[in-house]
Amino acid sequence: MNDIKITNPLVSVIMNCYNGDKYLPNAIESVYAQTYSNWEIIFWDNCSTDNSADIAQSCDDRVMYHRTAKTTPLGEARNLALKECVGKYIAFLDCDDLYLPEKLEKQVRLMEVTNYAMCYGCAIKINEEGQVLNKVPVKNQSGYLFGSLLKHYEISMQSVMLRRSILTEEQLSFATELKYCPDHNLFMEIASRFPVGVLKDFIAKYRLVGDSLSKKTVDVASTEVRYTLDNIVERAPELRKEFAIEFESAYNKLHYYDAVAAIYNNDRKQARTEIWSVIETKVEYFFVYLLLLLPLSNQRILKFLNR
């Protein structure tokens, strides 16, 4: 593929921001440091009260600054930013995270010579100081991945690139009613309809911070994942039959999400009840149940579960 000459399409990088000035300069710089240069940043300021606006507006005209009149939910904010994109491809970068230098180049090259609706790659988890916590390789091969993603969802938001025409032609967008996983909802909808490209390269860094959205919304995780599964089944009931085993695995995992929420809420009994209901379906659930029986702190258990 390296010998194939590609065109130089515009990539629109959406940066949704709400009081993200702590890491924002590094995030923006990681886009400027790309080996691929034909990009724009759609900077969507969700009514920040810190220095985010000053940082974004100090950049050159490749950063398109927009500000909302009031703070909106993340899904709605991303949809508003999508309307401002003019690029052939769309990528996403939260203010806490970073692109590795060849991220856009590698993805554009892949998308230009395939018909993939989107692609994603591997990510590196870092802490608040930027130190590497662990590297998260992806397991799937490029293709029609819906069944595989039902069993093991591995898409990290900051590693994604979308073909904008797919969103407009299929009238797809982020579900505004979801707080926890509007990205999961959109990407699973796309994967249920189109082939998806997978890069085995590490192309982004994802920062885990103390007040991350996932920690704030852990109680609604299972409800929102179920929403996505149910909507796909309602739209395309034939998929429920074609991927019966995979859907069963996905629905079973909702009990795991509820167990994690219960651990966060210091309710070990409820956590055990949730895991017990699916304990025979997966070896991992058996080990989670064992952890819940041991005299370990909830924080230690969550660390074992990478939560």
In this prediction, residue 1 carries a pLDDT of 44
Give DSSP secondary structure letters for the chain: -TTS------EEEEEEESS-TTTHHHHHHHHHT-S---EEEEEEE-S--SSHHHHHHTS-TTEEEEE-SS---HHHHHHHHHTT--SSEEEE--TT-EE-TTHHHHHHHHHHTS--SEEEEEEEEE-TTS-EEEEE---PPSB--HHHHHH-----GGG-EEEHHHHHHHT----TT-SS-HHHHHHHHHHTTS-EEEEEEEEEEEE--TT-HHHHTGGGHHHHHHHHHHHHHHH-HHHHHHTHHHHHHHHHHHHHHHHHHHHHTT-HHHHHHHHHTTTTT-HHHHHHHHHHHSS--HHHHHHHTT-
Domain with CATH 3.90.550.10 in the chain: 11-209
pLDDT reading at 7 higher than 90: no
Model confidence pLDDT, tens digit, residues 104-138: 999 999 999 999 999 999 999 999 999 999 998 99
**pLDDT band, residue 214 (cuts 50/70/90):** low
Q: Stretch 149-153: mean pLDDT, rounded? A: 96
Give the DSSP H/E element, type plus range, for residue 13. Answer: strand 11-17
pLDDT for 306 equals: 77
Give the HSE-up count for residue 34: Cα atoms under 13 Å, Cβ half-sphere: 23
Return the pLDDT at 180: 81
Average pLDDT over residues 86-92: 97
Q: What is the full DSSP assignment across 184-203?
A: HHHHHHHHTTS-EEEEEEEE
Rounded CA separation 177/39 (Å): 30
pLDDT digits (tens, 9 = 90+) for 252-279: 999 999 999 999 999 999 999 999 999 9
Average pLDDT, the chain: 93
Q: What is the pLDDT of residue 211?
A: 53
Greatest CA separation for the chain: 59
pLDDT at res. 307: 76
Q: Write down the pLDDT at residue 161.
A: 98
Q: Is the pLDDT of residue 2 over 50?
A: no
Query: What CATH architecture does domain 11-209 belong to?
Result: Alpha-Beta Complex (3.90)
**Exposed / middle / buried, residue 187 (Cβ in 10 Å: 0-12, 13-18, 19+):** buried
Print burial letters for 240-279: b (CB count within 10 Å at least 16), e (below 16): eeebeebbebbbebbbbbbbbbbbbeeebeebbebbeebb
> Which of 80, 53, 247 minimizes the C-alpha distance to 174?
80
Question: Tens of pLDDT along 226-258?
Answer: 999 999 999 999 999 999 999 999 999 999 999
Percent of the chain scoring above 90 in pLDDT: 88
| Count of Cβ atoms closer than 10 Å to residue 286 Cβ | 15
Residues of the chain above pLDDT 70, percent:
96
Residue 293 has pLDDT above 60, yes or no: yes
- Residue-wise pLDDT for 63-83, tens only, equals 999 999 999 988 999 999 999
User: What is the reported pTM?
Assistant: 0.92
Distance CA 242, CA 81 (A): 35
Q: Reduced to 3 states, what is the DSSP secondary structure of residue 115?
A: coil
Binned at pLDDT 50, 70 and 90, residue 6 comes out as low
What secondary structure letter does DSSP report for 294?
A: S
Inter-residue contact 96 to 19 (CB < 8 Å): no
